[in-house]
Amino acid sequence: MRLVILMFAATAALAQQVQVPVARIADDAKVIDRIAEVSKGNELPKDLLRRIIYEDIELLRGRRADGTYAYASYERMEASRVSESFSVQPSSDDRTTKLEIHGEFGYRLTIGLPQRRMLVTKNRPLWVENAEVEYIPQGSAEPKRVNFPIKAMMEAGETRNIDFPDIGRQVTARVFARAQKDSGYGNLVLTMIQAKVFDNPDSPFADAVTSAKSIQRNLDTVDTASLRATAQRMLASLHVQSPLPAVAPVPSGATVEVSAGSDVYGELQAIEDLLTGTDAERRTGLDRLHQLVRRLRR
């Protein structure tokens, strides 16, 4: 029995391991450096480079299939929020209405009554019975359900915050409320606050992630000199010693010759379009991008 438990534990540990494709990320750093070198003025394909560096940061963090990371973690600071607005109608038998909102990596639910139902009509008070939160905590596969009694009449302009015991990977929050029979319907807004990702300082790729974030900032300022410097620092921090693996042949019909004097920017725009398409188009776009870089090195 002990052996079986150990085997299951080992299998679970292996499932959590993440292989970071260092050679591919190093190749991307070279691509960014070379593109910044040959770009002039407004030629820099910022949207394309942003997508590349965003994917590289996710890879360097060791993103898992469940949305968690091997070398980063979610903390109770707001990264984004999801909101839903509801109208709660009076019930003849005083039954509560179930209101539901979903989100990922949430840590707080805010229940709010807007001041107005419409442009000039004041919102009505609502009785809020309780809130029920169902989620899967970080680092666990077991769902958890927590009930928060409220039992209060909320007035227009009032808000209440409910903090979850854990940051939930997949969160469903339900609020049970009812309107007063003699006052008409009222509006209620549910907002789920989603946690922010912080990189672990002891990550083996901490320096590379720092350089990648600098690349994102340099893309905003279109500072090609700083962009090249940070791309080179990112490449150096990855300590790639062996030559890069060979690139798979480009599918028939996808080859584009790029020679001196060709419109590099136009080719990058075509690659960008392919990278926003289907899986097959994205593979073709990556092949064309690698092919373009190799021709520019000549």
pLDDT for 137-156, tens place per residue? 987 889 999 999 999 999 99
Mean pLDDT of all residues in 42-62: 93
Summary mean pLDDT of the chain: 83
* Strand ranges inside 18-71, DSSP E: none
- What pLDDT does residue 155 have? 94
Radius of gyration of the chain (CA): 26
Determine the Cα angle at 208 with ends 204 and 209, to 5°. 95
Under DSSP, the state recorded for 63 is B
pLDDT at 266: 64
Instruction: Between 288 and 277, name the one with better pLDDT.
Output: 288
Predicted local confidence at residue 288, as pLDDT: 77
Indicate the length of the chain as a whole number.
298
Do residues 99 and 88 make contact, with C-beta atoms less than 8 angstroms apart?
Answer: yes
Percentages helix, strand, coil for the chain (3-state, rounded to 5) are 35, 30, 30
**What is the residue-wise DSSP string for 34-78?**
HHHHH--GGG--HHHHHHHHHHHHHHHTTB-TTS-BSSEEEEEEE
Residue 14 has pLDDT above 50, yes or no: no
The tens digit of pLDDT for each residue in 206-251 reads 999 999 999 999 998 888 889 999 999 999 999 865 443 444 444 5
Helix (H) or strand (E) holding 170: strand 159-179
Task: Say which amino acid occupies 31.
Answer: V
- 35 or 291, greater pLDDT: 35
Point out the least confidently predicted range of 53-57, 92-96, 187-191. 92-96
What average pLDDT does this structure show over 265-288?
A: 70
**Dihedral angle at the C-alpha atoms of 101, 106, 110, 111, nearest 10 degrees?**
20
CA distances to 138, 170, 192, 199 from 141, rounded to whole Å, are 8, 11, 21, 23
Residue 111 pairs with which residues in a beta bridge? 160, 190
Residue 216: exposed, middle, or buried by beta-carbon count in 10 A (0-12, 13-18, 19+)? middle
Helix (H) or strand (E) holding 110: strand 97-112
The three-state secondary structure class of 53 is helix
pLDDT at position 220 is: 86
Residue type, 87: S
Say what the pLDDT of residue 269 is. Answer: 67
Q: Model confidence over 96-130: pLDDT tens digits?
A: 999 999 999 999 999 999 998 877 788 999 999 99
Band of pLDDT at residue 5, cut at 50, 70 and 90: very low
Asked if 127 and 180 count as a contact pair (C-beta separation under 8 A), the reply is yes
